[in-house]
């Protein structure tokens, strides 16, 4: 199906800037880190986007990881259409939210009960309040470069859009808002242990991305996550696994299944909403029942568990059986090797970290292991490579602090051609330096 052009991307961006700050509804969509004008999407299908000028792109962003089946999957579209015909929001309980909570609990052993919300940020806000309420402690610990949404207490040394824009945190976040936030380097056991020695008795929670994917993709070093789990038990802090990106993508049970972890609480997003606004907090009943209306920790949301998002989430999870994960991981493994060979053979230093179905890309001489090494990567090379690939019809994230997402809709042939494009793009970048 073709799209009739309705105006140039430049024209739409000019109009957007008149009524939307920066012309975008989320900073990560801007091209601030790579330069140029963002394109405006008219429609999407499978592995591809089509912009308002009618140009088609192979999409390796996939709604920042939400579209694991690819865009406009027929089962998801049908589920949402059927749900919408019955009404888009009730502000009352539905059977679908019960079924979705059951599906999450069935897949994730650490989860007995689930509270559905509308965004990853809302889930992180809820889990911090719940941890503080359950423990009676104030402080939370996070790792530099891990992004847990834009709530004030966690918007410090964050990756993703904050890193892309070069911001230390955000204007409007007061010193008091982050006074109870402790930040240490990822993959640094000694720094973590030192922080526990100082703050352990006051620490309500330790938040960690199962696989950090907002400073590029940074695999946890062997034993690091297990060390966090053990030490949290020792000091009485709750371990919170942020599975907004990894949940239902790395494995049926996410990063905690992949690494054999048993966190106290977890947050989910992206895949679980099927491309619609939905996220979740999950954990054992004893902790989750501290949420209102059962317990004393208040949380509410008019659109929480709305019928469209729950219908989409159920449709997606229904397609994610073990065979789907095996196929996707095999596809990503082949692509990772092809991409690495293509770029390095053109003379550019590249790191292509992979964890199961997740894939990163950093222009660096050595593996990225933390936020400091992520910042030291060659982001100018990434920007040049981004545009060289975009000219060849391949859309990467417009920031070197993000991750590539391959969906089940991408074919081996498409990914092989993408690797060929990457070789040509790398030659172009190398030749211009």
Give the 3-state secondary structure of residue 196: helix
- Please list, in sequence order, all residues whose beta carbon lies within 8 angstroms of the beta carbon of residue 305, skipping any fewer than 6 positions away: 93, 94, 96, 97, 100, 116, 278
Look at residues 221, 200, 207 and name the one whose alpha carbon lies nearest to residue 266: 207
What is d(CA 141, CA 157) in angstroms, rounded to the nearest whole number?
12
Q: How far apart are CA 222 and CA 199, in angstroms?
A: 25
b vs e for 326-340, b when ≥16 Cβ sit within 10 Å of the residue's Cβ?
Answer: eebbebbeebbebbb
Count Cβ neighbours within 10 Å for each residue of 223-257 and write b for 16 or more, e otherwise. ebbeebbebbeeeebbbbbbbbbbbbbbbbbbbbb
* Cis before 293? omega within 30: yes
Of 113, 139, 270, 375, which one is the catalytic site residue?
270
| Residue in this structure with the two tokens 């469209």, named with its chain if needed | 308
Which of 59, 180, 242, 264 is an active site residue? 242
Alpha-carbon distance of 208 to 202, in angstroms, equals 18
Residue with tokens 């309705």: 6
Are 352 and 334 a contacting pair, CB within 8 Å?
no
Catalytic residue among 147, 259, 325, 371: 147
Token pair belonging to 241: 């696994």
Residue 191 to residue 170: CA distance in whole angstroms: 25
Q: Which residues pair with 114 in a beta bridge?
A: 282
Contact criterion met (CB below 8 Å) for 173 and 337: no
Q: Distance (Å, rounded) from C-alpha 132 to C-alpha 204?
A: 5
**Shortest CA distance to 408 belongs to which of 337, 339, 270, 316?**
316
Partners of residue 7 on adjacent β-strands: none
57 catalytic residue (yes or no): no
| Separation between Cα atoms, residue 84 and residue 307, nearest integer Å | 8
DSSP state of 220: P
CA distance 286 to 25: 38
Which of 227, 270, 282, 230 lies closest to 246, judged by CA?
Answer: 270
Task: Verify whether residue 147 is a known catalytic residue.
Answer: yes
Residues marked as catalytic: 147, 242, 270
């Amino acid at each position: 199906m073709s799209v009739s052009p309705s105006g140039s991307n430049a024209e739409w961006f000019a109009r957007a800037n008149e009524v939307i700050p920066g012309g975008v509804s989320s900073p990560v969509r801007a091209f601030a880190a790579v330069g140029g004008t963002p394109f405006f999407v008219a429609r999407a299908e499978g592995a591809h986007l089509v912009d308002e000028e009618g140009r088609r792109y192979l999409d390796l962003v996939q709604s920042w990881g939400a579209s694991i089946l690819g865009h406009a999957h027929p089962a998801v579209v049908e589920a949402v259409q059927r749900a919408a015909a019955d009404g888009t929001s009730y502000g009352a309980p539905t059977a679908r939210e019960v079924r979705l909570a059951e599906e999450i609990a069935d897949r994730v052993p650490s989860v007995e009960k689930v509270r559905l919300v509308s965004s990853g940020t809302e889930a992180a806000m809820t889990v911090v309040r719940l941890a503080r309420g359950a423990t009676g402690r104030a402080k939370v610990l996070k790792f530099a470069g891990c992004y847990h949404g834009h709530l004030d207490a966690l918007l410090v040394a964050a990756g993703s859009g904050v890193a892309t824009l070069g911001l230390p945190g955000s204007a409007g976040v007061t010193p008091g808002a982050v006074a109870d936030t402790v930040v240490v380097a990822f993959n640094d056991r000694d720094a973590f242990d030192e922080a526990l020695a100082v703050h352990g008795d006051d620490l309500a929670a330790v938040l960690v991305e199962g696989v950090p994917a907002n400073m590029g993709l940074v695999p946890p070093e062997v034993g690091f996550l297990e060390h966090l789990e053990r030490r949290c038990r020792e000091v009485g802090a709750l371990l919170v696994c942020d599975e907004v990106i990894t949940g239902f993508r790395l494995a049926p049970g996410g990063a905690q299944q992949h690494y054999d972890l048993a966190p106290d609480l977890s947050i989910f997003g992206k895949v679980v909403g099927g491309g619609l606004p939905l996220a979740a907090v999950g954990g054992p009943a004893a902790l989750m029942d501290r949420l209102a209306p059962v317990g004393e920790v208040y949380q509410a949301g008019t659109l929480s568990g709305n019928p469209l998002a729950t219908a989409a989430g159920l449709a997606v999870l229904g397609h994610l059986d073990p065979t789907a994960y095996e196929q996707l991981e095999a596809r990503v493994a082949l692509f990772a090797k092809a991409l690495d060979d293509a770029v390095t053979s053109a003379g550019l230093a590249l790191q292509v970290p992979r964890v199961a179905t997740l894939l990163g890309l950093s222009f660096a001489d050595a593996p990225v292991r933390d936020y400091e090494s992520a910042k030291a990567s060659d982001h100018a090379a990434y920007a040049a490579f981004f545009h060289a690939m975009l000219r060849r019809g391949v859309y990467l994230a417009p920031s070197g602090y993000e991750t590539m997402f391959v969906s089940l809709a991408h074919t081996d042939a498409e990914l092989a051609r993408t690797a060929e494009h990457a070789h040509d793009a790398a030659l172009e970048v190398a030749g211009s330096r």
